[in-house]
């Protein structure tokens, strides 16, 4: 110890430049950059050489040429004579569709299970726990296979379909639903809906201002519901019911007409929902538990009832904890939807990075586009998340 | 005369608040809503549980060795699993050499067991742990792959089943954690170039789906390399899985690093510790302890993600079960196969999460609420 | 990143560079150096390439791989099979993941040009057909309007299917799976009415079903599907070896040389046979291989006819007749240029 003290008294010599943290930092960064750039160039050069040597076509011209194959589910007009570019959009929309539905369903189920997990009812709490422990510990791919190959394969053949009032049919080919056909005059219903939304917005503002000024509450929820349902319904009746339901019917091999939810999508959606909901439930539980019980007690002592306490006190605080991991789950769900390829759902990976890649042989372009799409979705959500976090961050005094 | 106050003996609590009845009242029938929920739950259990149990246990076929033995019973045909069990565990690993796989697993159990016994001293545990981390993989590889000491070489293509799943998961875990820590430190670094590189790396891997990564590494990689150069397919899948999970690990570790007060670093600097010593001795031990649940969750995710190698044609547990269900001699037993695979995966993941919870409790040396 | 990281990084980069310069060369040298042929095959198609429970491959495509290994090393076992899905196969070949693809792949113009591949010959002349359940009562493909069709993703079959239905103004619902097993499973479960593929594959798939007799292959053949081994552009030496391995097998059948009599045939006085078996001249050496490599191929793997009958023909479960795949001398299409 004494040596140490003496050393500190004598002025240390200026360290040699290679021991100077600043020089070192610069050196490291330069080395790292040079290596990264070099590695990138090396890969690029190899790829170029290989492509030239093998005579493989490159570039994005193939996006304009006709694809020549059909796709089972297309949300936009598509046929075998459409271009590969169109295939991309069809595939992307299929991915987004299943991701969006998955996010909505998983959130609903996840919140229910998460709240059930905290239920005072022992049986309900244990069942929720069982659900969570089972489904989050089994690989998603296995769950997809299970739903697709074990459960949905047990559905009856088209001729023995399970039916509900001759309008909804369920068989091994999918779930057939009546499709709405809009006649002229349906525009009025949409207009009424727009008016209702505008009114609700205006009334809500007025009600809030009045409550702030006088403390008088206004039954906003009931009013909003009444407007939202009532006005379009009124318009619908007045316009002479301009809506027709096209029922699916059995013709030839399959049901024709109506909307169909194909089993590939159903099992993918089921698996994604059930799997992600288990994670969301845990996030919701943690979020609610993060709000200290004192908050509830304080709220009760102020005279707020359970509903108001939940809505005004608990949820806003819990959401601050819940939302960041929740977005991560949404992101995971979107990426996980790429497992569609395993069961033949025509998503981006299956149809674009799979079939298109194979028909054109342009692996690098197809994979690059696919990765870029997922990356953009991910970065976009991260960006929104950061904005949200900044807005919600606790302003500490 | 002095009156002594003799307290009245305590009355027993009302019978409705104690014992089984009290428990029921408190936990199942405390309010009308709860009564309704309980009734609903019991009803759902009553209609779903008996058929499931009948299928899986009572009406199932357990003995026999052919498909025909199953036709008598309406329940599950567990013979399907029995017949394929060796395949599910070892894949195409030659039967005569399977003792090597058993030896590898046994070695791991013997080597790792002392780590879980609390009476073993800590320095010994550290030494043992390091040995396991550094020596064991080499030993295991030599045993599994063979080619040395007169062991018949077994190509990685022949590895399969649970063995392959465990190899991928094991290598992935041991490699993803250190890589993740380095990436997290890089992301928190003050050097802009390093930071940018790490952020780009992490965001890239977190943004793309694993199956595109695996596809790229399994069939496209040679396009990016000089002519003729190539690696083992399994190795490439391993690298893909590791890099992918390392990015997630980095984010978990970063969470821990951010939670360590700046004072800790400043105190370490005041003591004259350099960057690496500060990180290794002061910051990381605290940060990693904070994020144990996150780390284990990443491990579990990795374990589950190993199933995706099915898509690139490696015969892990998932793929081998899946392909057994398409075996013409054994068609129609998908459910049994999937239930078995699910049970295996579940067992591993559940034990991991359970262990992490106990570890978390044990390491929780700070203030308890 | 930090010091240790950068160090590891530079090490890896140097290693990569070193390995790269060491290995740049042609396929034959690379294969010889490596000690085995990397052959891409199907992920499970009885008769063509099918792995049993122990991982041993059998089938006509697998035997072509064996023949190539026999040609290069004089040992038909010096190869490794890489099972590939239809979606992976071409990319795997392009990238160099495999040396040769022998996986019921159709010879088309775009694969021969823009995709950077070269077809070396035809192992099996095929055509696309339909497999349906007898219960449907369908007699011909023209009755399939509105049907749901299972097809393998990323194949020429998928394109022909669309063309055929469009040309006949019929509607259909396609379901494309990555693996043929999944298509078969789907047909069996009733998810689709029809399974479409090359006819040979339909027969192969049919024997994988639980009740093969319930299914029937429709008479229509809607396309030409010449299936053969494929190599990469730009390596003529390797291309020649693969192409002539196949020709040697066809020629051997024509000359009556079989795996059993090949040693006796060496004593033959026929100059054609002598040349081919490497007894006379040095035609074999022109390929950069042993002079008697064709004899080795035939001894270890067999001539084309033997392989055909063993894998897909009479000696197999598929029982496919020779048909178009008979020799040209017997009314078929199998024809090989002379060894001279």
In a domain, residue C283? The reply is yes
Over the stretch A243-278, which tens digit does the pLDDT of each residue have?
Answer: 778 888 877 777 877 788 888 999 999 999 999 999
Asked whether the beta carbons of residue C234 and residue A55 sit closer than 8 angstroms, the reply is yes
> Could you tell me how many CB contacts below 8 A there are between chain A and chain B?
149
Min Cα–Cα distance to chain B from A277, Å? 15
- Which chains have 3+ CB pairs within 8 A of B? A, C
- Of B106-120, B157-171, C107-121, C237-251, least confident by mean pLDDT is B106-120
Asked whether the beta carbons of residue C234 and residue A157 sit closer than 8 angstroms, the reply is no
The answer on C255 and C189 residing in a single domain is no
**CA nearest to B195 within chain A:** A29
In a domain, residue C86? The reply is yes
Task: Look up residue C4 and give its two tokens.
Answer: 């240790």
Min Cα–Cα distance to chain B from A308, Å? 19
What gap in Å lies between CA A286 and CA A280, rounded to an integer?
10
Contacts of B209 in chain A (CB under 8 A): 335-336, 338, 349, 374
* pLDDT, position A393: 64
Assign C299 a pLDDT band (cuts: 50, 70, 90): very high
Residue whose pair of structure tokens reads 């939940």 in the numeric block:
A310
Averaged pLDDT for residues B282-298? 86
Q: Which of residues 157-186 of C touch B (CB under 8 A)?
A: 178, 181-182, 184-185
Residue whose pair of structure tokens reads 């020429």 in the numeric block:
C156
**Between C115 and A330, residue with greater pLDDT:** A330
| Phi-psi label, residue C277: left if phi above 0, alpha if psi -120 to 50, beta otherwise | alpha
Contacts of A349 in chain B (CB under 8 A): 209, 211-212
Whether residue C3 is predicted with pLDDT greater than 60 in this model: the reply is no
Over the stretch B329-351, which tens digit does the pLDDT of each residue have?
Answer: 777 788 888 899 999 999 999 99
Q: Report which of A180, A174, A177 is spatially closest to residue A73, judged by C-alpha positions.
A: A174
Measured N-to-C along each axis, helices A363-392 and B192-207 cross at an angle, to the nearest 10 degrees, of 110
* pLDDT, position A132: 92
A68 touches chain C (CB under 8 A): yes
Over the stretch B31-80, which tens digit does the pLDDT of each residue have?
Answer: 788 888 888 888 988 888 888 888 888 888 888 777 777 777 778 888 88
Q: Report which of C332, C75, C88 is spatially closest to residue C226, judged by C-alpha positions.
A: C332
Min Cα–Cα distance to chain A from C23, Å? 13
The answer on C196 and C288 residing in a single domain is no
In a domain, residue C11? The reply is no
Min Cα–Cα distance to chain B from C267, Å? 40
**Between B6 and A184, residue with greater pLDDT:** B6
Contacts of C88 in chain B (CB under 8 A): 215, 218-219, 312-313
* pLDDT, position C4: 44
Min Cα–Cα distance to chain A from C80, Å? 23
Averaged pLDDT for residues C154-171? 89
Contacts of A382 in chain B (CB under 8 A): 203
Asked whether the beta carbons of residue A146 and residue B335 sit closer than 8 angstroms, the reply is yes
Highest mean pLDDT among B113-117, B157-161, C8-12, C26-30: C26-30
> What does the DSSP assignment read for B253-294?
HHHHHHHS-HHHHHHHHHTT--HHHIIIIIIHHHHHHHTHHH
In a domain, residue C18? The reply is no
* pLDDT, position C40: 92
* pLDDT, position C65: 94
What CA dihedral angle connects C180, C186, C188 and C194, to 10 degrees? -80
Min Cα–Cα distance to chain B from C214, Å? 15
Distance of CA B287 to the CA centre of its chain: 21
Averaged pLDDT for residues B279-293? 86
Whether residue C2 is predicted with pLDDT greater than 70 in this model: the reply is no
Whether residue A2 is predicted with pLDDT greater than 60 in this model: the reply is no
The answer on C234 and C120 residing in a single domain is yes
Pick from C44, C84, C96: CB nearest B227: C96
Would you call C270 helix, strand, or coil by DSSP?
Answer: coil
Contacts of A139 in chain B (CB under 8 A): 304-307, 318, 345
Pick from B189, B198, B226: CB nearest C24: B226
Whether residue C24 is predicted with pLDDT greater than 60 in this model: the reply is no
Contacts of C176 in chain A (CB under 8 A): 69, 72, 344, 346, 350, 355
Q: Note down the domain range covering C149.
A: 128-223
Min Cα–Cα distance to chain A from C141, Å? 13
- Provide the ipTM: 0.85
Q: What are the residue ranges spanned by the domains of chain A?
A: 21-55, 84-139+263-387, 184-241
- Of A194-208, B23-37, B42-56, B143-157, least confident by mean pLDDT is B143-157
Q: Are A180 and A186 in contact (CB under 8 A)?
A: no
- The mean predicted confidence, pLDDT, of chain C is 85
Over the stretch B6-26, which tens digit does the pLDDT of each residue have?
Answer: 888 888 877 777 777 778 877
* pLDDT, position C68: 94
**CA nearest to A62 within chain C:** C114
What gap in Å lies between CA B278 and CA A209, rounded to an integer?
56
Averaged pLDDT for residues A33-55? 84
| B330 contact partners, CB below 8 Å, separation of at least 6 | B67, B80, B83, B84, B324
A72 touches chain C (CB under 8 A): yes
Q: Report which of C235, C228, C263 is spatially closest to residue C336, judged by C-alpha positions.
A: C228
Domain endpoint, select from C180, C201, C223: C223
Q: Report which of A202, A201, A193 is spatially closest to residue A228, judged by C-alpha positions.
A: A193
Averaged pLDDT for residues C212-221? 88
3-state secondary structure B181-216: HHHHHHHCCCCHHHHHHHHHHHHHHHHCCHHHHHHH
Q: Are B184 and B195 in contact (CB under 8 A)?
A: no
The answer on C238 and C191 residing in a single domain is no
In a domain, residue C336? The reply is no
The answer on C326 and C231 residing in a single domain is yes
Over the stretch A143-167, which tens digit does the pLDDT of each residue have?
Answer: 998 898 888 877 888 888 888 777 8
| A54 contact partners, CB below 8 Å, separation of at least 6 | C94, C116, C232, C233, C234
Whether residue C23 is predicted with pLDDT greater than 60 in this model: the reply is no
Asked whether the beta carbons of residue C91 and residue A357 sit closer than 8 angstroms, the reply is yes
Per CATH, the number for A84-139+263-387 is 1.10.3720.10
Assign A6 a pLDDT band (cuts: 50, 70, 90): low
* pLDDT, position A98: 94
In a domain, residue C98? The reply is yes
Asked whether the beta carbons of residue A46 and residue B224 sit closer than 8 angstroms, the reply is yes
Contacts of B222 in chain A (CB under 8 A): 50
Q: Report which of A101, A256, A122, A69 is spatially closest to residue A178, judged by C-alpha positions.
A: A256
Averaged pLDDT for residues C43-58? 81
* pLDDT, position A12: 63
* pLDDT, position B1: 58
| Count of other CB atoms within 10 angstroms of residue B216 | 24
Whether residue A8 is predicted with pLDDT greater than 60 in this model: the reply is no
CATH superfamily of the domain spanning B160-363:
MetI-like (1.10.3720.10)
In a domain, residue C6? The reply is no
In a domain, residue C240? The reply is yes
C135 touches chain A (CB under 8 A): no
Assign B227 a pLDDT band (cuts: 50, 70, 90): low
The chain B residues in contact with chain C (CB within 8 A) are: 87, 92, 155, 157-158, 182, 185-186, 189, 194, 197-198, 215, 218-223, 225-230, 233, 276, 311-313, 323, 326, 328, 331-332
Q: Report which of C63, A377, A138, A285 is spatially closest to residue B318, judged by C-alpha positions.
A: A138
C114 touches chain A (CB under 8 A): yes
Q: Number of structural domains, chain C?
A: 2
Q: Measuring CA to CA, how many Å separate A68 from each of A92, A155, C91, C160, C242?
A: 18, 32, 20, 8, 31
Whether residue A39 is predicted with pLDDT greater than 70 in this model: the reply is yes
Pick from C145, C162, C182: CB nearest A80: C162
Q: What is the CATH number of the domain that holds C280?
A: 3.40.190.10
Q: Report which of B63, B90, B58, B91 is spatially closest to residue B78, judged by C-alpha positions.
A: B63
B34 touches chain A (CB under 8 A): yes
Helices (H) and strands (E) in chain B, counts: 16, 0
């Amino acid at each position: 110890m004494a040596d140490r003290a003496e050393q500190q008294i004598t002025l240390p010599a200026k360290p040699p430049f290679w021991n100077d943290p600043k020089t070192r930092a610069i050196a490291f960064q330069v080395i790292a950059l040079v290596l990264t750039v070099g590695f990138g160039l090396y890969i690029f050069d190899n790829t170029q050489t290989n492509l030239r040597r093998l005579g493989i076509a490159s570039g994005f011209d193939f996006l304009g040429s006709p694809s020549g194959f059909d796709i089972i589910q297309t949300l936009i007009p598509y046929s075998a004579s459409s271009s590969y570019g169109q295939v991309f959009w069809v595939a992307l929309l299929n991915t987004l569709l299943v991701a969006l539905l998955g996010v909505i369903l998983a959130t609903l189920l996840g919140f229910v299970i998460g709240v059930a997990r905290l239920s005072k009812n022992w049986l309900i709490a244990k069942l929720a726990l069982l659900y969570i422990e089972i489904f989050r510990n089994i690989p998603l791919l296995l769950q997809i296979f299970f739903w697709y190959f074990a459960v949905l394969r047990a559905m009856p053949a088209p001729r023995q379909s399970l039916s509900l009032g001759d309008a909804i049919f369920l068989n091994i080919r999918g779930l057939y639903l009546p499709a709405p056909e809009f006649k002229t005059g349906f525009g009025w219903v949409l207009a009424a809906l727009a008016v209702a939304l505008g009114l609700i917005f205006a009334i809500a503002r007025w009600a809030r201002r009045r409550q702030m000024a006088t403390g008088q509450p206004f039954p906003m929820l009931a009013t909003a519901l009444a407007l939202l349902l009532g006005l379009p319904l009124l318009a619908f009746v007045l316009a002479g019911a301009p809506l027709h339901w096209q029922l699916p019917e059995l013709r030839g091999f399959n049901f024709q007409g109506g909307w169909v939810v194909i089993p590939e999508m159903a099992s993918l959606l089921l698996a994604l929902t059930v799997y992600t909901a288990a994670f969301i439930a845990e996030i919701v539980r943690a979020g609610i538990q993060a709000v200290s019980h004192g908050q509830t007690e304080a709220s009760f002592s102020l005279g707020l009832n359970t509903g108001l306490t939940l809505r005004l006190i608990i949820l806003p605080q819990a959401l601050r904890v819940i939302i960041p991991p929740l977005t991560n789950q949404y992101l995971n769900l979107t990426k996980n939807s790429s497992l569609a390829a395993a069961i033949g759902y025509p998503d981006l990976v299956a149809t674009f990075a799979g079939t298109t890649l194979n028909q054109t042989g342009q692996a690098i372009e197809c994979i690059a586009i696919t990765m870029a799409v997922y990356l953009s979705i991910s970065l976009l959500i991260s960006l929104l998340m950061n904005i949200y976090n900044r807005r919600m961050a606790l302003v500490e005094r | 005369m002095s009156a002594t106050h003799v307290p009245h003996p305590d009355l027993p609590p009302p019978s409705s608040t104690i014992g089984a009845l009290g428990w029921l009242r408190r936990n199942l029938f405390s309010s009308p809503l709860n009564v309704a929920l309980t009734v609903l739950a019991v009803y759902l259990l009553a209609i779903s549980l008996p058929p499931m149990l009948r299928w899986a246990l009572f009406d199932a076929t357990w003995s026999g060795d052919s498909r025909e033995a199953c036709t008598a019973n309406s329940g599950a045909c567990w013979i399907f699993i029995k017949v394929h069990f060796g395949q599910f565990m070892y894949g195409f690993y030659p039967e005569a050499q399977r003792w090597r796989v058993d030896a590898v697993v046994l070695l791991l159990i013997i080597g790792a067991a002392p780590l879980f016994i609390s009476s073993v001293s800590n320095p010994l545990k550290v030494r043992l742990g390091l040995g396991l981390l550094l020596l064991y993989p080499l030993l295991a590889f030599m045993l599994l792959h063979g080619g040395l000491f007169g062991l018949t070489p077994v190509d990685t293509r022949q590895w399969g089943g649970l063995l392959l799943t465990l190899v991928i998961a094991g290598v992935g875990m041991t490699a993803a954690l250190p890589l993740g820590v380095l990436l997290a430190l890089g992301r928190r670094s003050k050097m802009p170039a390093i930071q940018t590189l790490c952020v780009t790396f992490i965001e890239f891997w977190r943004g793309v789906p694993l199956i595109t990564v695996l596809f790229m590494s399994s069939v496209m990689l040679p396009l990016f390399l000089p002519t003729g150069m190539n690696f083992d397919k399994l190795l490439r899948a391993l690298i893909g899985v590791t890099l992918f999970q390392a990015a997630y690990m980095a984010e978990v570790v970063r969470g821990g690093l951010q939670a360590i007060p700046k004072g800790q670093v400043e105190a370490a600097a005041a003591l004259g510790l350099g960057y690496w010593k500060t990180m290794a001795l002061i910051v990381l031990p605290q940060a990693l302890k904070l994020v144990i649940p996150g780390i284990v969750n990443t491990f579990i995710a990795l374990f589950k993600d190993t199933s995706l190698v099915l898509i690139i044609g490696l015969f892990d547990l998932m793929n081998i079960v899946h392909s057994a269900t398409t075996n013409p001699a054994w068609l129609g037993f998908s459910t049994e196969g999937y239930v078995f695979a699910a049970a295996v995966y579940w067992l591993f993941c559940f034990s991991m999460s359970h262990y992490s919870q106990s570890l978390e409790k044990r390491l929780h040396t700070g203030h308890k609420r | 990143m930090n010091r240790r990281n950068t160090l590891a990084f530079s090490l890896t980069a140097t290693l990569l560079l070193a390995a790269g310069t060491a290995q740049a060369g042609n396929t034959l040298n690379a294969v010889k150096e490596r000690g085995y042929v990397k052959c891409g095959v199907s992920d499970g198609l009885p008769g063509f390439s099918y792995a049993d429970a122990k991982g041993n491959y059998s089938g006509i495509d697998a035997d072509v791989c064996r023949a190539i290994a026999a040609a290069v090393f004089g040992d038909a076992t010096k190869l490794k099979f890489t099972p590939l899905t239809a979606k992976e196969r071409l990319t795997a070949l392009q990238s160099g993941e495999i040396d040769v693809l022998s996986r019921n792949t159709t010879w088309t113009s775009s694969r021969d040009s823009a995709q950077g591949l070269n077809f070396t010959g035809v192992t099996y002349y095929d055509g696309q057909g339909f497999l349906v359940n007898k219960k449907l009562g369908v007699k011909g493909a023209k009755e399939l309007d509105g049907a749901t069709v299972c097809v393998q993703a990323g194949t020429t079959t998928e394109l022909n299917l669309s063309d055929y239905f469009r040309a006949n103004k019929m509607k259909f619902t396609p379901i494309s799976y990555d693996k043929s097993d999944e298509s078969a499973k789907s047909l069996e479960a009733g998810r689709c009415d029809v399974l479409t593929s090359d006819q040979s594959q339909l027969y192969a798939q049919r024997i994988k079903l639980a009740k093969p007799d319930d299914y029937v292959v429709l008479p229509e053949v809607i396309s030409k599907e010449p299936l053969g081994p494929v190599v990469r552009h730009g390596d003529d030496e390797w291309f020649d070896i693969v192409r002539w391995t196949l020709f040697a097998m066809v020629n051997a059948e024509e000359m009556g040389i079989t795996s059993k009599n090949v040693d006796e045939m060496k004593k033959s006085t026929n100059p054609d046979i002598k040349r081919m078996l490497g007894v006379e001249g040095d035609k074999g050496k022109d390929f950069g291989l042993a002079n008697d490599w064709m004899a080795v191929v035939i001894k270890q793997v067999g001539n084309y006819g033997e392989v055909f009958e063993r894998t897909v023909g009479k000696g197999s479960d598929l029982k496919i007749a020779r048909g178009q795949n008979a020799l040209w001398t017997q009314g078929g299409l199998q024809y090989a240029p002379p060894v001279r």
